[in-house]
Structure 1
């Protein structure tokens, strides 16, 4: 039973709804400054996980090749198209407008938090661990953090943040059921490189949320798929 996945997604849903509902009541300076704090927090979490890296060449190669693949298939463009299509109906449903009206600023922050909720190393590893061992501790802990994170971002971005629970639930549920097939094929070194790759994405996400540099986070996601195979290949065949 994917208890951790369900609770994590519900936390994002209710955190987003509550944050969006309180959005107009939260002072503008708070709605502007707190996302910057979460951007810094994302960078900090990224740095913390990057230091767990085992095979630097494999991880860097995964990020480069994965980003190239993402650029070719325009993965982030798909996220933006989905977000733009869903934004109107969601805001109409709740009869509200997001605090951020600038489309580019809105999309930069929205894509960033989609990655935070759906593709962070903590969430992916937590879903895999939950599916393999039945231990939901990581996802339950992440649920607490995601509840407040969703609330803060929703105060600025509106009810669209709550809608992120849908792709998050799908991604984590797939990982949960795939865990029994994936985990036996992994090694501690492969998991460390996987976590470090997620950390690089989270670091780039922090830069994007803070408006320092708009990294193509969505297009970097394929790196998460290929990093463990590349890690295994490098460890097995490239012993210099």
Structure 2
């Protein structure tokens, strides 16, 4: 089944999120320290991803123009609005953090990254689900930690993960016929680096140092595709 890896990934996120809810009674000071630890780890991952770029100028251009497009569309507000809409439809504990914070943060962490794209392409092209299953295990453990501090909204991040990776998987069944391997590898490299900056921003937000509207940077991924295509053709 071509979507096996994506389905496993989504299920493991949900399982991890519900396990994490059993840990929500830990002391507030411990929660705060754990959140700082998560933020630092996420920031380091983002920095490592950014260093994979072979042409930093592409990353800068993608982030800048992606931010312009994202602010114009106000994607951050729309993503938060979706989380708030889900929260209104679900019987959640109003004393807790609600659904929106966990949904938004977890969605950005789980979706932005090379494993999502590489794994989805492997599933579509070669029916090889190892990368997505491994990503699912990592996401599941991450969901445990995130949901213990940010709430059950983390579980709902499984839906955009399923849609995002599922669409890429289905499209990739045809991608090899019109996208050269060299261009595809170039895109994955620069997309990983650009996504790394977004992951770094998420980490800084979790620590509380910044309040970057990370969702408004997401169009930068599309800009990467456009720029690398132009560079490849030139």
TM-score by length of 2: 0.88
Q: Offset at 1:124?
A: 2.6
Q: Deviations over 1:132-151 (max 9, x none)?
A: 22222221111111112111
Q: 1:142 to 1:30 in 2, by over 3 A?
A: farther
Give 1:226's aligned residue: 223
Give 1:194's aligned residue: 191
Q: Which runs of 5+ in 2 are unaligned?
A: none
Supply the distance in 1 between the matched residues of 2:107 and 2:184 (Cα, whole angstroms): 28
- SS of 1:96's partner is coil
Q: 1:143 to 1:180 in 2, by over 3 A?
A: same
Give 1:112's aligned residue: 105
Q: 1:134 to 1:35 in 2, by over 3 A?
A: farther
Q: 1:161 to 1:233 in 2, by over 3 A?
A: same
Give 2:46's aligned residue: 46
Contact 2:114 2:188 survives alignment (8 Å) = no
Name the stretch that deviates more: 65-74 or 147-156.
147-156
Aligned mate of 2:116, from 119, 123, 133: 123
Contact 2:103 2:156 survives alignment (8 Å) = no
Q: 1:201 to 1:174 in 2, by over 3 A?
A: same
Contact 1:154 1:160 survives alignment (8 Å) = yes
Supply the distance in 2 between the matched residues of 1:152 and 1:22 (Cα, whole angstroms): 9
- SS of 1:141's partner is helix
Runs (4 or more) in structure 1 with deviation over 4 Å come to none
Q: Offset at 1:66?
A: 0.9
Give 1:2's aligned residue: 3
Supply the distance in 1 between the matched residues of 2:18 and 2:220 (Cα, whole angstroms): 31
1:61 paired with 2:70, answer: no
Q: Which runs of 5+ in 1 are unaligned?
A: none
Q: 1:128 to 1:98 in 2, by over 3 A?
A: farther
Give 1:13's aligned residue: 14
Q: Deviations over 1:70-120 (max 9, x none)?
A: 110111111010111112333x1xx5346437x9xx73x653322001222
Q: 1:98 to 1:115 in 2, by over 3 A?
A: farther
Number of equivalent positions: 229
Q: Offset at 1:208?
A: 1.2
